[in-house]
Amino acid sequence: MNDFINRFKDQVRSNFDASRQEYLFLELKHDFYGKLTDKLVNFIGETGVVPPGWDRQGMKILDVGCGIGNSTKRLSERFAGAGLSGIDLSPKMLEAATEQLPGINFVCGDGENLSDYFPQDSFDLVVYSASLFILPQQEQSLQQARGLLKEGGVVAASVLRGMRERSGAQINSLSDMPGIVKNERLLPCLQEMFSKVYSSPLLIPIHREVLKDIYSIPALLAGLFPKLPPQQRLIKVNELINEVSERNLELLQDWVLIAARK
């Protein structure tokens, strides 16, 4: 099992190392993950999960799976004055993050072993913006995140569950899609670990141009068609884009937003 997990992480690291420029292009053009981070921050506020007296300016925030720093940048804007740290497995993605945000503490490391890099009881908020579902051992990462949180601290995540057509129509070019890392245990796991847990579904329309730009990213294309070699993945995603256009399909990414208090 450990050998499989290590190979999986090595492949994830390689995929994301190869995705730096495409991520930069996507965010410059669509601000996709920035907007997703906004939705997660708004959800945190709407739930009331934040304890009374939470000092937004003096708080400490950890962004797990921060990538090129788009979510970190949005968190720094939404929590002005907070102390921010980010961690990611990909050195190449972190190079871009450091260039964008030179004042942030970025760490190259494994999001499943957070206590190797940060002290216990040191953060008010731990965020997984579009990253938790990529981890093969989600429960281990969440247990580690809980240990890093101060009493009353909050963990928040946006988790991708899959993609579907708005009307429920069959998408022929996705018939072999194995699905995103399974998340059936995620909410029960959080309920066992945390005192208050809130969740809400989120459907994001993926228009043709956005679809093309998102799945031009090697790491995301690998997630969509993980069992295919790279060249066949490109063929499959072009088939998907053509089918969406020809059949006038409306694709939706199916997300869930989560916030939980220690």
Residue 184 located in a structural domain: yes
Residue 213 located in a structural domain: no
At residue 142, the pLDDT reads 96
199: closest CA among 49, 32, 38, 53?
49
Spacing of C-alpha 237 from chain mean position: 21
At residue 182, the pLDDT reads 62
pLDDT at 25 over 80: yes
Distance CA 201, CA 53 (A): 28
What domain count does the chain have? 1
Residue 215 located in a structural domain: no
Q: Give the tens place of pLDDT for each residue, 223-249.
A: 888 888 888 888 989 999 999 999 999
Q: Give the tens place of pLDDT for each residue, 85-126.
A: 999 999 999 999 999 999 999 999 999 999 999 999 999 999
Residue 190 located in a structural domain: yes
Residue 239 located in a structural domain: no
Q: Give the tens place of pLDDT for each residue, 26-65.
A: 999 999 999 999 999 999 999 999 877 777 778 999 999 9
Dihedrals φ, ψ of 109, to 5°?
-170, 180
Band of residue 181 on the pLDDT scale cut at 50, 70, 90: low
% of residues, the chain, pLDDT over 90? 75
Band of residue 179 on the pLDDT scale cut at 50, 70, 90: very low
- Summarize the confidence of residues 131-145 as an average pLDDT: 93
Residue 95 located in a structural domain: yes
Q: 111: which residues sit within 8 A by CB, 6+ positions away?
A: 64, 65, 87, 88, 89, 128, 131, 135, 141
Distance CA 185, CA 142 (A): 12
pLDDT at 176 over 60: no
At residue 180, the pLDDT reads 46
pLDDT at 138 over 80: yes
At residue 51, the pLDDT reads 77
Residue 41 located in a structural domain: yes
In the predicted model, what is the mean pLDDT of the chain? 92
Distance CA 67, CA 160 (A): 16
CATH code, domain carrying 123? 3.40.50.150
At residue 226, the pLDDT reads 80
Residue 246 located in a structural domain: no
Q: Residue 135: which domain range? A: 2-167+179-205+251-261
At residue 71, the pLDDT reads 97
Band of residue 255 on the pLDDT scale cut at 50, 70, 90: very high
At residue 4, the pLDDT reads 84
240: closest CA among 204, 215, 217, 219?
215
